[in-house]
Structure 1
Amino acid sequence: MEDYLATKAKLLGKIEGPLSYAVINLDQPEFRQFFGDFNSSYISYSLDNTTADIYCTKYEFSADKTIFDLVTPMGVRTVIFSLPGKFNLINALAAVGGGFASGVDLDNIVKGLEESKPVPGRFNSINQGQPFAVIVDYAHTPDAITRLCEATKDIAEGRLLLLFGCGGDRDKGKRPLMGQVATTMADFAVVTSDNPRNEDSSDIIKDIEPGLFEDRFEIIENRKEAIKTIINMAQPGDVVLLSGKGTENYQEIKGERFPFDDTKEAIEVLNELGYKGLSEGN
């Protein structure tokens, strides 16, 4: 953290003059030490700290959007933002600060936010009219799974059901950590294959197992069957997270890439359950 803050301070030291701006997140206590060292103007933002220049008075998360009241020095607007989750909202507030620092007016800032599209493979919602959320995300490390689950809890009314695996020919040390995070953060986890590459999926799963605990998991090596199982487990208000592959349209096994797409697989299962409406995601 010390090196990180030192790098931030070095960057801020290069910003000089009243027409130059630093945009600072007040929700990070470590950043407050910078306020006495500015050689420039600054704009602060926060999720709900009303001492910031930019903040929210209320916000509502759902699987496919965030609705929030944006408070700025130039006025208040209600924004319908198509990127769900608290982390996306915080990033949006930072973007608002950057917009003001660049001289963009409030109306165009709001227009830009409302025209934003989700990044493919990142927290993409699949909506076929089912009474539970299904989300596809690329998260494939312990830290990324943790942040994904934390963001999902903002929208979950019921259980958080997580599907995950670990890639082959990659860091074996993270595998038990993935199991630990999954069974800590989610209400139930399904362990499956990812891209085993030149390893056997069963061996990778064995490396994950020491981190799993209690009875909050099931092991289903076949990813297609795992997706079908976890979606069939979902009840109204639950959130199903399909993590690890995002927009990848293949599984890499023993040097070959076989067609496989989490989104298409999920839609097929939902259609089999009788849900055939709306959209394939964001």
Structure 2
Amino acid sequence: MPRVLLSELIELLPEVRLSGASDIQVWVTDVACDSRKVKPGALFVAIPGQQFDGHDFVPDAVARGAVAVVVEHPVEVTSVPVLQVPHAREALALLANGFYGFPSRRLLLVGVTGTNGKTTTTHLIAHVLRTSGLSTGSMGTLGAVLDGVGEVPISHTTPEAPDIQYVLYTAVQNGVKAVAMEVSSHALHQHRTLGLEFDVAVFTNLTQDHLDYHKTMENYAASKRRLFVDYPPRSTKHAHVVFNLDDPTGRQWYEESVYDRWGYGVSSPDACVRASEVRLFPDGVEMRVVTPEGEHHVRVPLGGAFQVYNILAAITASLALSLSPDTVVNALRDVPQVPGRFEIVSNRRGITVIVDYAHTPDALENLLRSARALQPRRLITVFGCGGNRDRSKRPRMGAIASELSDLCVVTSDNPRNEPPEAIIDEILQGIRQREDVRVEPDRRRAIALAIESAQAGDMVVIAGKGHETVQIVGDQRIPFDDRQVAREMLEG
């Protein structure tokens, strides 16, 4: 682990007021924002949160061995230096970046943001980079994985700033040359990624999600826009920005951008990377892709029409990194399955069972339209909506699922601290015709009901959880994997 003088870290803060102990020539051996994780030698940053205020835990952090604390308002501490700053989260990111030696400067770093497609696009980019011969890492919803290291534990799609910087530092220390990472709107709004220097920033799309946090679509968009407006001018690198030109927001940001911009799409003639002659199969997508260097036939073993845009985003980002089209196209031919993304559960009953993470209105609609395009005899959908999250999308998702399915089973999906029945009632408000709708709050029974109702030639889509392996009920995380439950029901 690094060891940095507090005096050197203080120089990274644009505005700071010192109090408490006067000795700032002390060694810092960690940066933390959770007092429970503080070890002797740590610099503790007190973050005002939605549920807890880190300032309340400053005494605990000092008792655990913190050599200094960062705060937004005065605290009664005299035994260690106190650094008062206007914005603790910004300070946390800057301090963590400096403590770990600005690791993103020594990596090829690709950041992917957007409502849908972040995980798959990141997965595709990492695979292309790895196949091209670069030791590669990825970070996002599926965790953080580095070649030669394995999995590095993280807690969120985009974790807290010290965790991000630790992953990138570990990558550098182990010879990793490139990292592809998801960048969530929460992370951008909370400055968790502040200080990262991206070689390429990718925008997938913008549709409704996270309004429980951002309140309005304008706020949501503004958070994501930071990656393309605020980050490039702060970087020591030549930044490339990549936009989906078929998305209205992507189109607008592309036209406003003053940086090295790249556009991709299907229906946008001016896109430098665009697809045509798309053919869909249960286990993959084929298409012709036009690039600045010519046309290419692309075959990717990932199902779903929505994958077309993820594939185009990955191709465009790879070209922006100066990889050849042939290298990219060849790499995509054998990309591994993305866990919980249009993942087929094999069986001998002649039923196509698909598990997918779709948990927004747009993602659910794209998923079900992709399923319909495969022309099943009947389409049966199992889905629910998460508790303590954006309530306004529930009736919309109910309408989408019922209109695009022959049979819709409404169930629970991480109800958290809300009654499952109350969530389901809000979903049902969007459903006009309920003759082909079943309600089963128990998710295991709901999956069983769907599979029992299916016959050969039918398709069962289980949406919402994808790769997840727990059901969150109250404060409990109960083991639950849609894929495993589906296998059990198919074999039973």
Smaller-chain TM-score bracket? 0.7 to 0.9
State the distance in 1 between where 2:305 and 2:349 align: 23
Query: What is the root-mean-square deviation in Å for CA atoms of aligned residues?
Result: 3.6
The verdict on how the C-alpha distance between 1:27 and 1:139 changes in structure 2, with shifts beyond 3 A counting, is closer
State the distance in 2 between where 1:64 and 1:36 align: 35
State the distance in 2 between where 1:240 and 1:67 align: 23
State the distance in 2 between where 1:197 and 1:50 align: 45
Q: Note the C-alpha offset of 1:21.
A: 5.2
Q: Note the C-alpha offset of 1:266.
A: 0.8
Match of 1:162 in 2: 381
Match of 1:224 in 2: 444
The reply on whether 1:92 has 2:325 as its aligned counterpart is: no
State the distance in 2 between where 1:36 and 1:122 align: 31
Structure 1 residue aligned with 2:481, among 261, 277, 280?
Answer: 261
What TM-score results when the alignment is normalised by the length of structure 2? 0.47
Q: Is the 8 A contact 1:26 1:49 kept in 2?
A: yes
Match of 1:250 in 2: 470
- Supply the AA of the counterpart residue of 1:188: L
Give the match's secondary structure for 2:306: helix
Q: How many residues align?
A: 270
The verdict on how the C-alpha distance between 1:264 and 1:24 changes in structure 2, with shifts beyond 3 A counting, is closer
Q: Note the C-alpha offset of 1:227.
A: 0.8
Give the match's secondary structure for 2:429: helix
> Bigger relative contact order, structure 1 or 2, given CA contacts below 8 A and separation 6+?
1
Match of 2:366 in 1: 147
State the distance in 2 between where 1:22 and 1:136 align: 32
- Supply the AA of the counterpart residue of 1:78: H
Q: Is the 8 A contact 2:355 2:461 kept in 1?
A: yes
The verdict on how the C-alpha distance between 1:41 and 1:203 changes in structure 2, with shifts beyond 3 A counting, is closer
- Supply the AA of the counterpart residue of 2:295: V
The reply on whether 1:239 has 2:427 as its aligned counterpart is: no
Match of 2:272 in 1: 53
Q: Is the 8 A contact 2:305 2:366 kept in 1?
A: no
* 123-132 or 85-94, which deviates more: 123-132
Q: Write out per-residue CA displacement over residues 125-179 of structure 1, whole angstroms, 9 at most, x where no aligned residue.
A: 2222443421112233434423332343343444332111233444555443432
* 133-142 or 24-33, which deviates more: 24-33
Q: Is the 8 A contact 1:156 1:239 kept in 2?
A: no
Q: Name structure 2 gaps, 5 residues minimum.
A: 1-216
Q: Is the 8 A contact 1:156 1:238 kept in 2?
A: no
- Superposed, 1:93-132 pairs within 5 Å as 93-132=312-351
* 194-203 or 100-109, which deviates more: 194-203
What TM-score results when the alignment is normalised by the length of structure 1? 0.76
The verdict on how the C-alpha distance between 1:176 and 1:39 changes in structure 2, with shifts beyond 3 A counting, is closer
Q: Write out per-residue CA displacement over residues 185-224 of structure 1, whole angstroms, 9 at most, x where no aligned residue.
A: 3332101222334444334333433332211201123222
- Superposed, 1:28-67 pairs within 5 Å as 28=247, 42-47=261-266, 52-67=271-286
Higher Rg: 2
* 228-237 or 209-218, which deviates more: 228-237
The verdict on how the C-alpha distance between 1:173 and 1:65 changes in structure 2, with shifts beyond 3 A counting, is same
The verdict on how the C-alpha distance between 1:66 and 1:98 changes in structure 2, with shifts beyond 3 A counting, is same
Structure 2 residue aligned with 1:191, among 397, 407, 410?
Answer: 410
State the distance in 2 between where 1:28 and 1:247 align: 26
State the distance in 1 between where 2:471 and 2:250 align: 42
Structure 1 residue aligned with 2:428, among 199, 202, 209?
Answer: 209
